[in-house]
Amino acid sequence: MVVLKQFDILSTAKIAAVLYFVVGIVEAIIIFVFSGAFAALFGSSSGITTGAVGLIATPLIALIVGFFGVAIFAWLYNIIAARFGGIQLILKKNELKRIDPVSAGKIVAIISAILFFVIGIVLGAIVAAAAGGFGILIGIGIIIIYPIIGAVCSFIGVAVAALIYNFLAPRMGGIMLYFKKDELQGVGVLSYAKIEAIFSALAGLVYGAIFTLIFYFLNAVGSAAQVTGTGASAIPLLVAELGPYSIIIFPIIFAVIGFAGAAFTGFVYNKLAERMGGARLDLR
């Protein structure tokens, strides 16, 4: 077992920023294509203008967010890990076999609590300034409750994700990570994409279940309206078409998108790491 003691902030933020930039370019192109199709379909030039702006703005925003967001996360991680211990991992022959749910959930929960505390201060100040009087109490409540909600949700989410990973890794192989000393030089593209496809499929299953429940709820409301003579409740076309099948369709779509996205991200990371160096991690 090894412990992720700390991230090298600059190397991690640098490669994350370039990776976000490349992914942002792809997203911007997709937005531009869809905007152009929308403009051609409805005869509006605003879609093309929006797409053109997005073509420039999206990669730049992704670059800035990637650098500063990852740098802040790495900085907070290093401070917290030095005091509470880092995330415990089991690595065997470059394969990530296991992630300790408790240590992973704990450290992410603390980071989330800090970030949500900052967000809570901003929201609380806005509410207090806008409402005054009783609004001040609401603002104080937001400052107190927000970090608690963020910490609890983060701990549960990360711990559950780690447990799922630990279940999958022995059965289908864990993610391959290739190190040279302390530098993460590469990621096994297929192993990463395969795991991500399963996680995406599970997310699709949840969304599909929700979509199905919405369909049957609206269908029941519509049937009741017809029986009582108050008129049929209109079910949105997309819900009506996909409702009964979304619990099957959504996991498949999400899995395909998750696999393709992870494969692309892993491939880009490997190419960037070859040219500019990968993220440096202190694993002991």
Residues 6+ apart with CB under 8 A from 1: 88, 89, 90
CA distances from 280 to 78, 175, 180 (A): 13, 18, 9
Query: pLDDT tens digit string along 188-224?
Result: 999 999 999 999 999 999 988 888 887 777 766 655 5
| 96 pLDDT more than 90 | yes
CA distances from 228 to 221, 222, 223, 232 (A): 11, 10, 9, 10
What pLDDT does 17 receive? 96
Is the separation of the CB atoms in 106 and 98 below 8 Å?
Answer: no
What pLDDT does 267 receive? 96
Residues 6+ apart with CB under 8 A from 154: 105, 108, 109, 111, 112, 113
CA distances from 223 to 175, 211, 239, 256 (A): 49, 18, 16, 36
Query: pLDDT tens digit string along 6-24?
Result: 999 999 999 999 999 999 8
Is the separation of the CB atoms in 85 and 119 below 8 Å?
Answer: no
Q: Nearest Cα to 1, choosing from 110, 86, 111?
A: 86
What pLDDT does 230 receive? 47
pLDDT band at 33 (very low <50, low <70, confident <90, very high): confident
Q: Phi and psi dihedrals of 6, rounded to 5?
A: -165, 160
Domain boundaries, the chain: 1-84, 86-174, 175-279
What pLDDT does 243 receive? 65
Of 66-75, 132-141, 259-268, which range is least confident? 132-141
pLDDT band at 227 (very low <50, low <70, confident <90, very high): very low
Query: pLDDT tens digit string along 238-276?
Result: 555 666 678 888 899 999 999 999 999 999 999 999 999
pLDDT band at 131 (very low <50, low <70, confident <90, very high): confident
pLDDT band at 36 (very low <50, low <70, confident <90, very high): low
Tell me how far apart the alpha carbons of residues 78 and 70 are, in angstroms, rounded to a whole number: 12
What pLDDT does 115 receive? 93
Percentage of residues in the chain having pLDDT higher than 70: 83
